[in-house]
Amino acid sequence: MKNLIKRTITGLIFTALIIGSIIWNQYSFVILFLVITILGLWEFYSLVKTTNIARPQILAGIFSGGILFISMALVAMNIADLKILLINLATIPLIFFIELFSKNKNPFTNISFSILGIIYIALPFSLLNFFFNTGLIPGVFQYEILLGFLIILWMHDIFAYLTGKTLGRHLLFKRISPKKTWEGSFGGVIFAILTAYIISLFFDDLSSIQWVIIALIISVFGTLGDLTESMFKRSMNIKDTGNILPGHGGILDRFDAVFMAAPFVFIYLKLFI
């Protein structure tokens, strides 16, 4: 009971903080998610290092991931030209250079995990900056798409869990996640679509069909993101990736679906909207 109360309070505060940062302005979102990106990278690298799989370049990885996030945010807010993204071609090789002088036994394993953190965590978070204005139109600030994206994702996760808990019989992916079921997955999809339709009644930036397509993308790739995170935790032999969010685990636990869903929703928005 105490854990449920703790989980609920933490969830409400964290959700309110995210929603508030999105609605307030793009600057508040960038500040909050830059912090979340840094914490997520720290969490990922620390876990890898603790389990002795590799010794990633933590500071270089966080620096490179932070620069990626900031540079993409500046472009998304029309503060800087696309050329600023070229800076990332200079920061990421720092990981190679530092490893060159570190005298570690498995340098390319360390490099691989260092870069993996940037691709897996920093890149998806960075892409969220463009959800405010996918066309990069000067002076445009539209929080509805990003907020709708997260609400659909949250509803999918909540009802996939509840449906699986009450009706789940057939396992979805036993080798990776022995608790997830097909029933839960279908329940999540149904409620994601329903949520998307309701959102379309209030957020008319996109049509009902477009919101439903986004819901389907979230359902498929969000689930794959969840399974990917489960695979990561099983390989590390851990239950949670951290304890920064009481009752919810770590940053990676809370955003596992975002990591896989965000890039594909971004592609859809850029190509078809």
CA–CA separation, 129 vs 262, rounded Å? 11
What pTM was estimated for this model as a whole? 0.93
Helix axes 251-272, 26-50, angle to 10 degrees: 130
Instruction: Give tens-digit pLDDT for 220-255.
Output: 999 999 999 989 888 888 877 777 776 667 899 899
CA–CA separation, 85 vs 73, rounded Å? 10
* pLDDT on residue 213: 98
Q: Catalogue the E-assigned strands of the chain.
A: 171-173, 177-181
Distances (CA, A) of 187 to 155, 168, 190, 191, 197: 10, 10, 5, 6, 16
Residue 10: other Cβ atoms inside 10 A: 16
Instruction: Give tens-digit pLDDT for 90-139.
Output: 998 999 999 988 878 889 999 999 999 999 999 999 999 999 998 888 87
* pLDDT on residue 16: 94
* Residue where the block lists tokens 């800076």: 87
For the chain, how big is the Rg over CA atoms in Å? 19
Residue 245: other Cβ atoms inside 10 A: 19
Half-sphere exposure of 120 toward its Cβ, with a 13 Å CA cutoff? 22
First to last CA, the chain: 45
Which residue has better confidence, 51 or 209? 209
pLDDT at 3 over 80: no
pLDDT at 1 over 60: no
Half-sphere exposure of 261 toward its Cβ, with a 13 Å CA cutoff? 29
